[in-house]
Amino acid sequence: MNNPSSASRPVRMVIFGRQGAGKGTQCVRLVEHFGVVHISTGDMLRGAVAAGTEMGKAAKAVMDVGDLVSDEIILGIVRERLAEGDCRTRGFVLDGFPRTIAQAEGLVMILGEDELHAVVDLDVPLDEVTARMKARGRDDDTDEGIARRLELYEKETRPVLDWFADRDLLVTVDGLGSETDITDRLLSAIATAVAR
Ligand code: AMP
């Protein structure tokens, strides 16, 4: 019973949260529990940068200053990834996408009749995520980069949360506490959403 989705249907979900909210850690646990594919647009872009592809070169400059890569590029890579067989059979958790209303609308188009089962906001306060990002020291975690990304999250991504809330899909989960407590909260919120 470790993987309820294999016994029933593939689960399709989105996890939101400010950078530094612990989405990456929790996604590992969601993958273990639901057997879904973890799709992080940030990881895919960093992979393209490391591989030195044309897209990676274009994305790097944008990522370095904490801006958003164009909707067109992002929707292209997500569309390709979601069309792969593992996403269709195992379901997925989208992490770091959609970040704009245009991306949310694009996602709905890509999914067609395959509806999302759960959209979760892993909620961690601004001062806490700022402190965590300063401590982790990733390449793009300069003070300006952190401030810019958090500002963009409020400006561009908050409306996306409202967009999902208007469609009755959004569940907010308290992202403070121990990793296991947060996982338990997430699993119960998602189980409720999937059962609807
Ligand atoms: P993340 O690992 O999700 O914080 O993403 C790192 C960086 O990749 C972001 O600061 C953006 O520059 C870029 N990025 C990742 N996902 C997206 C997206 N859905 N839309 C636009 N830019 C993105």
DSSP for residue 9: -
Q: What is the mean pLDDT of residues 136-148?
A: 84
Under the banding of pLDDT at 50, 70 and 90, the label for residue 6 is very low
Is the predicted pLDDT of residue 142 greater than 90, yes or no?
no
> Any idea where the domains of the chain sit in the sequence?
4-188
> From the alpha carbon of 45, which atom of ligand 1 is closest?
8
Distance of CA 26 to the CA centre of its chain: 11
Whole-number Å distance, alpha carbon 68 to ligand 1 midpoint, is 6
Q: What is the mean pLDDT of residues 186-196?
A: 94
> From the alpha carbon of 23, which atom of ligand 1 is closest?
3
Under the banding of pLDDT at 50, 70 and 90, the label for residue 93 is very high
pTM of the model: 0.92
pLDDT tens column, 37-91: 999 999 999 999 999 999 999 999 999 988 999 999 999 999 999 999 999 999 9
Tell me the fold of 4-188. Rossmann fold (3.40.50)
Q: Which residue has its alpha carbon closest to ligand 1 atom 11?
A: 68
pLDDT tens column, 114-127: 899 999 999 999 99
Average pLDDT, whole number, for the chain?
92
180-189: long-range contacts at Cβ-Cβ below 8 A with a sequence spacing of 24 or more?
182/22, 182/26, 182/122, 183/26, 183/29, 186/26, 186/29, 186/30, 186/120, 186/122, 187/30, 187/33, 189/118, 189/120
Under the banding of pLDDT at 50, 70 and 90, the label for residue 139 is confident
